[in-house]
Amino acid sequence: MTALSTQQVELAISGMTCASCANRIERKLNKLDGVTATVNYATEKAKVSFAPGVDTAALLEAVEQAGYSAALPKPKRPKGTDPEQVAAEAPCVNCATD
Ligand code: 9UX
């Protein structure tokens, strides 16, 4: 039953302004059933493994619930339209409430 292969996706995260942000997102994603995530603050990427049946939309939602933005990787990304480059500078809400 758990023999089905997991899938992997690398999400582009924006809105992280300190390293704790990465930890917060990581915890949030790992709370989801069948999801294992590692978030890299420096590269603004989340490496996510998820069991079959997990919807990638749920991954994006979890990140957004934590106060950040997530996007699925786009195979073709024209230069200059990279959404990662419009990441906000302001501290996230979590910093204030921590
Ligand atoms: Mo920081 Mo974030 O000092 O969620 S934790 S900006």
37 touches 49 (CB < 8 A): yes
Q: Which of 23, 44, 64, 92 has most ligand 1 atoms within 8 Å of CB, for mutation? A: 92
The token pair that represents 16 in the structure block: 């992280």
65 touches 27 (CB < 8 A): no
Q: How many domains are contained in the chain?
A: 1
pTM for the full model?
Answer: 0.77
Q: Does 96 reside within a domain? A: no
Å from CA of 14 to ligand 1 middle? 12
Q: Does 22 reside within a domain? A: yes
pLDDT tens-digit series, residues 57-87 = 999 999 999 999 999 987 665 565 555 544 5
Structural domain that includes position 46: 7-79
Q: Domain containing 64 — which CATH number?
A: 3.30.70.100
Q: Does 18 reside within a domain? A: yes
pLDDT tens-digit series, residues 9-65 = 999 999 999 999 999 999 999 999 999 999 999 999 999 999 999 999 999 999 999
Q: Does 12 reside within a domain? A: yes
Q: Does 54 reside within a domain? A: yes
